[in-house]
Amino acid sequence: MAKRCDICGKEPKAGNKVAHSKSTTRRWWKPNVHKVKAVLKDGSVKKINVCTSCLKAGKVTRA
């Protein structure tokens, strides 16, 4: 299962896949999470889990 984003807290969500015949099956929507080396506020470098929307928004400074 996909991990949680350490920046925004985005995590997997469950729901139903609905067919044309209205039959339902359980499914998951998983965020696109990557493990990246990031520079923290105190200047140290650490590997954290970050979703791609946070990376594109510039919320993380890569090491």
Q: Assign residue 31 the CATH number of its domain.
A: 2.30.170
The amino acid present at 46, given as its one-letter code, is: K
The predicted-structure confidence for 3-61, as pLDDT tens digits, reads as follows: 899 999 999 999 999 999 999 999 999 999 999 999 999 999 999 999 999 999 999 99
Compute how many other C-beta atoms are within 10 angstroms of the C-beta atom of residue 18: 11
Domain membership flag for residue 35: yes
The structural domain count of the chain equals 1
**Residue 28: burial class (beta carbons within 10 Å; 0-12, 13-18, 19+):** exposed
Is the pTM above the cut of 0.85? Answer: no
The amino acid present at 48, given as its one-letter code, is: I
The predicted-structure confidence for 12-27, as pLDDT tens digits, reads as follows: 999 999 999 999 999 9
Which structural domain range is residue 23 located in? 13-57
φ, ψ (nearest 5 deg) of residue 56: -70, -30
User: Do residues 32 and 5 make contact, with C-beta atoms less than 8 angstroms apart?
Assistant: no
